């Protein structure tokens, strides 16, 4: 992997600028999904990279959807369930 490619991969998983904690989680999860999409687009065309990339794309972009579903939950148990699903997707993406 070239130095520029490693930099793109690393930036997809790094914390954003110092205002990160002040951003609403829905904005942060959207930003995360956009970084995952950029990462996927930067991957080589090799079959192996595309297979792994598609899985990262699916799990990384679903985090925000899971969070938004948790915000619309009707009970505490449902909130917990949706947030656990979001956490599972983050772990599958390689964050946790």
**DSSP annotation string for 17-80:** STTGGGS-HHHHHHHHHHHHHHHHHHS-S-HHHHHHHHHHHHHHHHHHHHHHHHHT-SSHHHHH
Phi/psi at 86 (5° precision): -65, -40
What per-residue confidence (pLDDT) applies to 23?
66
What per-residue confidence (pLDDT) applies to 24?
87
Residue ranges per structural domain of the chain: 24-93
CB 57 within 8 A of CB 37: yes
What per-residue confidence (pLDDT) applies to 93?
87
What per-residue confidence (pLDDT) applies to 17?
44
> What string of pLDDT tens digits covers the 96 residues of the chain?
445 544 454 454 444 444 444 568 889 999 999 999 999 999 999 999 999 999 999 999 999 999 989 888 898 899 999 999 999 998 988 865
Query: The whole model's pTM is what?
Result: 0.70
3-state secondary structure of 87: helix
Domain 24-93 sits in which CATH superfamily?
A: 23S rRNA-intervening sequence (1.20.1440.60)
What per-residue confidence (pLDDT) applies to 10?
45
CB 92 within 8 A of CB 59: yes
């Amino acid at each position: 992997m070239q130095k520029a490619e490693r930099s793109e991969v690393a930036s997809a998983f790094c914390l954003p600028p110092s205002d990160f904690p002040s951003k609403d989680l829905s904005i942060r999860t959207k930003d995360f999904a956009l970084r995952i999409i950029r990462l996927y687009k930067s991957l080589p065309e090799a079959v192996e990279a595309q297979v792994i990339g598609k899985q990262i794309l699916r799990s990384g972009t679903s985090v925000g959807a899971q969070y938004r579903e948790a915000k619309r939950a009707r009970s505490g148990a449902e909130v917990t369930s949706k947030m656990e699903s979001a956490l599972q997707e983050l772990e599958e993406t390689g964050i946790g």
